[in-house]
Structure 1
Amino acid sequence: MMPSAIFPDLKDRSVLITGGGSGIGAALTEGFIAQGSRVAFIDIADEVSQTLVETLGTRYGNRPHYLKADLSDVEALRNAIAQAIDFNGPITVLVNNAAWDDRHDIDDVTVEYWDRNQSINLRPQFFAAQAVVPGMRQSGGGSIINFTSTSFMINQGNMPSYTAAKAGIIGLTKGLAGRLGPERIRVNAIAPGWVMTERQRTHWVTEDGLRAHLGKQVLREELMPGDMVGPCLFLASDASRMLSAQTLIVDGGYL
């Protein structure tokens, strides 16, 4: 469900979303398209991404620009961002959403797996920010929104490389905020709780597990991808112009 709020300053803004073709990312892409933003998104999944472009173009008369790239390849990421800038102009809103949340046990993690995991879950967030900062400076400011997770905050133990990366995102957020704030570039993070994407339902949701989780939320409803859109739009817009170096937890009150 898309939020009803309209942020007039987001109309025609150049927005880039990583992992914007499915799950939370697809909801974010739709949310900014609905605001009238000029949206580019990077994803590696062709079919779902192309379908999303057509669906949103029909629904809103505003088509996002899809760029295929493997975010673990920094040069491919940089090239995709350069294409987004050529298409929509300097990016003033960056949403670092892409992630790989496969479960893995401590006894099974190899050096190669660890590096691969970090190359998707942490490294691209820095290099995407690095690539858009010159345009934000040129534009007089901007907003970078990094998606972290509550998984490390609740001591989730079945994906240690992922939780390490998600904790690192908060450190990255604060460090970038401190460096870029004097240039009117705000950097914040969003920490979702357990969001019921199709991937979660297919891979990890069980009836008992979901019931137990909802029982610990203050708001006893399932979190949906659309529930991340309003907080992200707020952090992107001038409504949060003096808010930086913060982590906004959106978990139905679990914490």
Structure 2
Amino acid sequence: MTQASYPSLRDRAVLVTGGASGIGAAIVRGFVRNGARVAFLDIDRTSGEALAAGTGALFLPCDLTDTTALKTGVAEAAQRLGPVRVLVNNAANDQRHKVEEVTEADWDFSQDVNLRHQFFAVQAVLPGMREAGGGSIVNLSSVAWMFGAPDMVPYTTAKAAIVGLTRSLGAALGPHGIRVNAVAPGGVMTERQMRLWHTAETKANLLARQALRSELLEEHIADAVLFLGADDSRMITKQCLTVDGGLR
């Protein structure tokens, strides 16, 4: 299938968090394919270095739960590529816990890795994006909070909050020409998902719950992010786009 190309993304500085693998890596590859100048932050050095070598994107090792390190990474990306015009807050960790077993440390980690870094990444790119005349911010949510995944309460809480974050930031930053949207992926069976949580049987069961019976791929999520990052979506803000094949 031929994928859309977006001339407005050419030479535009793009920053992706959690871009070393899975959906994040597909997003990085998509922006590179469109001629953007791409940097990505990730804690996984091995995967990050491999992706950078294969795409030419700039990999900056970073623990996103360390806000000081996050701000340093954003500053380096802007110094080397120019003001960030597209920020994709993709990084996440969908740990499973029984409700009775969640500790305070589990809760805090989930909010830090799934929610907190999104706000502070926005805060870090804001001065340059505003000075550059505007931009686009895309926050990754999840359909897990919409149907209430019972063993993912800290995660679904954070992913639901991202929609509220998106709407408020869209209202706050719109006067500066900055759009803020969210994308909520469905059951994308990344390598990590299959290694940690799913089997061939559970994957087939998930596919059977989709209205569209084709496998949901990382690239399908990246396609939605590219559209929201490009000027083609210039009058879209404060929205959450669900990409789940009609999951029910």
Letter matched to residue 220 of structure 2: D
- 1:3-14 map, 5 Å: 4-14=3-13
| TM-score for both structures, normalised by structure 2 | 0.98
Residue 196 (structure 1) aligned with residue 184 (structure 2)? no
Q: Could you say which residue in structure 2 is the equivalent of 1:98?
A: 91
Q: Could you say which residue in structure 2 is the equivalent of 1:216?
A: 209
In the alignment, the residues of structure 2 paired with residue 238 and residue 14 of structure 1 have an alpha-carbon distance, to the nearest angstrom, of 14
- 4+ residue segments displaced more than 4 Å: none
Deviation at 1:112, TM superposition (A): 1.5
Residue 132 (structure 1) aligned with residue 125 (structure 2)? yes
User: In the alignment, which of 108, 114, 121 is matched to residue 121 of structure 1?
Assistant: 114
Residue identity (%): 50
| TM-score for both structures, normalised by structure 1 | 0.95
- 1:19-30 map, 5 Å: 19-30=18-29
Q: Could you say which residue in structure 1 is the equivalent of 2:36?
A: 37
User: In the alignment, which of 56, 60, 71 is matched to residue 64 of structure 2?
Assistant: 71
CA contact (8 A) 2:189 2:203 kept: no
Q: Could you say which residue in structure 2 is the equivalent of 1:151?
A: 144
Alignment RMSD: 1.0
Q: Secondary structure at the match of 1:152?
A: helix
Deviation at 1:116, TM superposition (A): 1.3
Q: Could you say which residue in structure 2 is the equivalent of 1:55?
A: 54
Residue 111 (structure 1) aligned with residue 104 (structure 2)? yes
Letter matched to residue 49 of structure 1: G
Deviation at 1:211, TM superposition (A): 2.0
Q: Secondary structure at the match of 1:143?
A: strand
Number of aligned residue pairs: give it.
Answer: 248
CA contact (8 A) 2:90 2:139 kept: yes
Deviation at 1:207, TM superposition (A): 2.6
Letter matched to residue 161 of structure 2: G
Deviation at 1:253, TM superposition (A): 1.0
In the alignment, the residues of structure 1 paired with residue 58 and residue 161 of structure 2 have an alpha-carbon distance, to the nearest angstrom, of 29
